[in-house]
A and B are shown apart, each in its own frame.
Chain A
Amino acid sequence: MTTSRLWRFPMPKLPSNPVLRTAGVYTAGALFALGFWFFIDASVYSKVANRSDVHVKFVDWIPLICSILGMLVINSIEKSRLSADSFSYSGGGVAWKARLVLFTGFALMAGGLSGSITVLVLKYVVPGYPWPTLYFGVANVVGNAAIMLSCIVLWVSQNIEEDYTYNLSL
């Protein structure tokens, strides 16, 4: 690993602590719930307590659906297959396939976040709606950002796990 390194600065060593990893996975779930319920809150508020004409429609749901699909795709991949090129026993371009699927996942997730910002700007900011209506767009952005953060936390904590088992197998 160290001899065939590409970058001059090594990756900072993640603390390989199983407790930290467990806490990371729980935190990821909590963040995901936070983002999800933030958006559900906006749509329930739009349905029940809304006094303006603007409601949460299907357009507002598309970014969240993209983000959740992207998170599903990203975290379904076995992370150790990404560096499979350096091992001799994994033929058939597994790493290539993994990178392709992962690219799809990241594109979905980034599309979700930028789509939520697009909805916020085009549907709520540009017509100049006041706060309780503007909240629908803000909650959309916050929800998608929380789901993206949850995905990052999950990814990092699973990499901690990878490091841990590597040390264990030595």
Chain B
Amino acid sequence: MAGLKTIIVLSFILAIGFLLVILSSALFGPNYFPLLVVATYVLAPLPNAICSRCAMPDDFIESGSSGFVDFGRFLTGFLVVTGMALPALLAHSGIIQIPAMIMSIIGGLLVYGTVVSFGMFFQEETDF
């Protein structure tokens, strides 16, 4: 039952994720590059949402319609790995420190997990 409790838990996790990312930016000598992780993970569910509208999955005659869906999934995988690779890149070049990298990766994963599970819990039934 996806009710009020789920919303409260999810918003808590979202807040913790944002807190971790902002702390990772602010604690270790304020530089705000780790906030890019949040942008990446907020963008990550978008390609699937857009591309599933573009494609018509019940259209069996045109077999090429799943190209949009595949492209959306490809972009999603790209963005999720980007969210993890970006802090590692910044830490490797010495722009941010290693603890900031760890905190921003964990925070970004929490934000993305919240967005994905929100979509799973409150998915509307498709009407055909």
Interface residues of A (CB under 8 A from B): 22, 25-30, 32-34, 36-37, 40-41, 44-45, 48-49, 78, 80, 154, 158, 161, 165, 168-169
Contact = CB atoms under 8 A, between A and B. Distances in A.
Given A25-B74, A33-B80, A41-B88, 20 more contacts: A25-B73, A26-B77, A28-B77, A29-B76, A29-B77, A29-B78, A29-B80, A30-B78, A32-B77, A32-B78, A33-B77, A33-B85, A34-B81, A36-B78, A37-B89, A41-B92, A44-B89, A48-B93, A48-B94, A48-B95
A14 B90 CA distance: 40
B74 to A, nearest CB: 4
16 contacts: A29-B76, A29-B77, A29-B78, A30-B77, A30-B81, A33-B80, A34-B81, A37-B82, A37-B85, A41-B92, A44-B89, A48-B93, A48-B94, A49-B93, A161-B66, A165-B63
Contacts, number: 70
Contact of B93 (A26, A29, A34, A44): A44
A29 B81 CA distance: 8
B94 A49 contact: yes
A33 B89 contact: no
Interface of B is mostly: helix
Interface in B81-112: 81-82, 85-86, 88-90, 92-95
Contacts of A36: 78
Residue with the highest number of chain A CB atoms closer than 10 Å, among B60, B81, B85, B88: B81
Contacts of B86: 37
Contacts of A165: 60, 63
Contacts of B42: none
Interface residues of B, number: 24
Contacts of A158: 70
A160 to B, nearest CB: 11
Contact of A22 (B64, B73, B88): B73
10 nearest interchain CB pairs? A29-B77, A33-B81, A37-B85, A29-B74, A26-B77, A30-B77, A29-B78, A25-B73, A33-B78, A41-B89
Interface of B: 60, 63-64, 66, 70, 73-82, 85-86, 88-90, 92-95
A45 B75 CA distance: 25
Contacts of A44: 89-90, 93, 95
A27 B60 contact: no
Contacts of B64: 78
Given A37-B81, A48-B94, A48-B95, A29 B73 contact: yes
A26 B73 contact: yes
Given A158-B70, A169-B60, A45 B77 contact: no
Nearest to A32: B78
